[in-house]
């Protein structure tokens, strides 16, 4: 981005993010999203993901600055020389996951996930889930609270809480992570190539109901879930050259 970028500012609801947006709008020209070259998102990782969803069809790069609690996907918040920082920023392109569900009534639904697709038990009964990767049954029956498939962008969110691996942005991998697994007791998940087709089949779907969630879209009482990477859709995040994501990953993995 060599020219001076036209910026559209957006912010999370928290006071710190709203006040930051107010100051930035007073210091820099703000344009509507239809006229923008770049969107500057002010908040935390959750707000970055919501912003990516909201402007998915626009195809604009998004430069985040951290006014939230974590900020793995955000740059350091600084108000000075913002257009210059954006011009020097490095871009990373990510593709969402496409979730296709079939519920117990035979209804189909699709949704996109930038973060992860997760399956979760709906009642006190544990879920029983079969896992199929590229047409091969890899686990015939897993007894668990659920399971998730995460993109690199989402690997520092729910996936990390479920003790899944953090994946560097730009890596062509997906994290398959069980949630409170009972059997097989020692199974901790797997790393899959990004082009893998993953199918989850819910065993005893009526008696042991399971819901499927693609980021913010939840589908209850599912029987099967098919997940593939949607290469037809691209999202671009921008980072300062000194944004050392790899170092942050290492530090996070060695936290006591």
**131 and 216 fall within a common domain:** yes
60 and 114 housed in the same domain: no
41, 38, 49: which is closest to 97 by C-alpha? 49
Do 77 and 121 lie in one domain? The reply is no
Q: Do the domain assignments include residue 2?
A: no
Q: Same domain, yes or no, for 103 and 16? A: no
- For residue 1, being part of any structural domain is answered with no
**In a shared domain, residues 105 and 205:** yes
Q: Is the per-residue pLDDT at 254 higher than 80?
A: no
- 109 with 44, same domain: the answer is no
CATH number at residue 247: 3.40.50.10330
The model's pTM is 0.84
Q: Do 157 and 215 lie in a common domain?
A: yes
Q: Is 45 a catalytic residue?
A: yes
Domain count across the chain = 2
> Does residue 149 contact residue 198 with C-beta atoms inside 8 Å?
yes
Q: Would you tell me how many other CB atoms lie within 10 Å of the CB of residue 11?
A: 22
Residues 130 and 112 in one domain: yes
Q: Are residues 56 and 164 in the same domain?
A: no
Residues 115 and 217 reside in one and the same domain: yes
- Reply yes or no on whether the pLDDT at 252 is more than 80: no
143-163 tens-digit pLDDT: 999 999 999 888 888 998 899
Residue 211: give its domain's CATH number: 2.60.200.30
Instruction: Band the pLDDT of 3: cuts 50, 70, 90.
Output: confident
From the candidates 29, 45, 204, 240, give the one annotated as an active-site residue: 45
Give the span between the Cα atoms of 201 and 208, in whole angstroms: 12
Residue 102 pLDDT grade (very low, low, confident, very high; cuts 50, 70, 90): very high
**Residues of the domain holding 119:** 97-229
Residues 56, 113, single domain; the answer is: no
Q: Which of 188, 256, 197 is nearest to 229 (CA)?
A: 197
Tens-digit pLDDT profile for residues 191-248: 999 999 999 999 999 999 999 999 989 999 999 999 999 999 999 999 988 765 666 6
238's enclosing H/E stretch is strand 235-239
- Residues 110 and 195 placed together within one structural domain of the fold: yes
Q: How confident is the model over 109-126, as pLDDT tens digits? A: 999 999 999 999 999 999
Mean pLDDT of the residues in the chain: 92
β-pairing, 116-121 with 136-150?
A: antiparallel
């Amino acid at each position: 981005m060599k020219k001076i970028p036209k910026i559209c500012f957006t912010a999370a609801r928290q006071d710190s993010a709203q006040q930051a947006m107010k100051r930035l709008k007073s210091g820099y020209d703000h344009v509507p999203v239809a006229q923008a070259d770049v969107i500057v998102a002010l908040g935390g990782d959750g707000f970055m993901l919501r912003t990516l969803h909201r402007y998915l069809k626009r195809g604009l790069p998004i430069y985040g600055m951290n006014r939230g609690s974590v900020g793995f996907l955000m740059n350091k918040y600084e108000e000075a020389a913002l257009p210059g920082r954006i011009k020097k920023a490095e871009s990373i392109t990510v593709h969402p996951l496409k979730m296709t569900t079939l519920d117990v009534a035979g209804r189909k639904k699709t949704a996109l996930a930038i973060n992860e697709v997760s399956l979760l038990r709906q009642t006190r009964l544990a879920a029983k889930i079969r896992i199929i990767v590229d047409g091969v049954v890899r686990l015939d029956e897993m007894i668990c609270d659920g399971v998730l498939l995460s993109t690199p962008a989402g690997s520092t969110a729910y996936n990390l809480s479920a003790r899944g691996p953090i994946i560097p942005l730009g890596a062509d991998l997906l994290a398959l992570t069980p949630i409170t697994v009972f059997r097989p007791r020692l199974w901790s998940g797997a790393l899959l190539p990004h082009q893998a087709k993953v199918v989850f089949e819910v065993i005893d779907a009526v008696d042991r109901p399971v819901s499927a969630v693609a980021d913010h879209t939840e589908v209850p009482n599912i029987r099967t879930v098919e997940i593939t990477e949607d290469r037809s859709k691209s999202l671009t995040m921008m980072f300062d050259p000194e944004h050392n994501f790899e170092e942050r990953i290492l530090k996070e993995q060695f936290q006591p």
